[in-house]
Amino acid sequence: MTKDKQRYSNAFTATLSGITDLFRKQKNVVSLSDKERLDGKNILITGASSGLGFEAAVQLAKRGAHIWMACRSGIPEKGEQVKKRSGSNHVEMMHVDLSDLDSIVALVNKLKAASVKLDVLVDNAGMVPNKSRKTKQGLEEMFVVNYLSKYLLARLLLEHDLFNTPHKNVPRIIFVVSESHRNPKAFDWDGFGVYREYSMGKTVEYYGYYKLLLATFANELSRRVNSPDQVNYSVFALCPGPVNSNIAREAPAIFKPLLKAVFKIFFRSPEVAVQPVSYFAASTEVKGRAIEYLFLMGRKDMDAKAMDEENGQRLWQLSETLLKEYGMVFRA
């Protein structure tokens, strides 16, 4: 195993890597002016009840956007908190359980019924469980929340024409991935969607693998919705770095005091970590770009496996085939 691959091989090395990344000098650093506005833009944010998603709702509402917070919990009090902190009343709460495929379909139907046309999707929700669990449909929960739900949501929004595309507007689709997407050696195509039992010791390994799937999907989605001579949708991916959030809420109780201290001292606050989300949502610098990746606030390429066209095509087909088993059929 190479040094790069060892960085995210377990919870300890992943935490250490996240901390050291904060002190490395970045290349191709970008910035966002306070003058960049989002007035009148509709933005859907998943996982918006806490952490990065909640802060994204606050910061993008401050820039004038109409925010649609898609959450499993925290309704309606979280929406009221965003209104209070942002000074904006253009905040709506919508329930969704991203581990339940039917709930994602219901969310899209609600958006359609409300005649919402999205300018930006921030697909932020993620989880790090302490062990494998089955979803309502019998799939592995982290696989669904961290990857399959994002494929399904994007496909459904496109199928139902819920992005604001008239007058040469280029909607933006933003995925929160992770530098740990570089860790897996290869794709396990034969095991795609197969339920596996695992405990805390394997969680970080699977987390990185599902982030690789997501990064690969981002690249393939961009290829499919755009052409060489025309960008119809901007597809962006980012890693915010280590964030002081509740993503490790399922860690063993014995480790929680230590993790809480480490997160507070060394990890970035959501107010700081949200910067790449705000940049991709609001910056005029990236207007009309087909795909881009940020680590913290520095531009870089995603892992070669994620950018490989053959991998992208295979992932797309496997995802589509799997969802057909649950009654999700898409247009060609």
The answer to the question of residue 131 being in a domain is yes
Specify the higher pLDDT residue, 222 or 168: 222
Model confidence pLDDT, tens digit, residues 205-246: 999 999 999 999 999 999 999 999 999 999 999 999 887 666
| Helix, strand or coil, per DSSP, at residue 44 | strand
Structural domain span for residue 169? 3-324
The answer to the question of residue 51 being in a domain is yes
The answer to the question of residue 332 being in a domain is no
If you average pLDDT over every residue of the chain, what do you get?
A: 90
The answer to the question of residue 157 being in a domain is yes
pLDDT-based confidence at residue 293 (cuts at 50, 70, 90): very high
**Parallel, antiparallel, or unpaired for β 298-299 and 234-239?**
unpaired
The answer to the question of residue 329 being in a domain is no
Q: How far apart are CA 154 and CA 149, in angstroms?
A: 8
Q: How far apart are CA 217 and CA 65, in angstroms?
A: 27
Q: How many domains does the chain have?
A: 1
Q: Is 47 left (phi over 0), alpha (psi -120 to 50) or beta?
A: left
Q: Tell me, what CATH number does 171's domain have?
A: 3.40.50.720
Q: Is 101 left (phi over 0), alpha (psi -120 to 50) or beta?
A: alpha
The answer to the question of residue 149 being in a domain is yes
**Sign of the C-alpha dihedral computed for residues 187, 192, 197 and 198 taken in this order:** positive
| Residue type at 135 in one-letter notation | T
Q: How far apart are CA 95 and CA 199, in angstroms?
A: 29
pLDDT at 1: 41
pLDDT at 28: 78
The answer to the question of residue 330 being in a domain is no
Q: How far apart are CA 147 and CA 167, in angstroms?
A: 32
Its pTM stands at: 0.90
Model confidence pLDDT, tens digit, residues 111-148: 999 999 999 999 999 998 989 999 999 999 999 999 99
pLDDT at 305: 98
The answer to the question of residue 306 being in a domain is yes
DSSP-derived letter for residue 189 is G
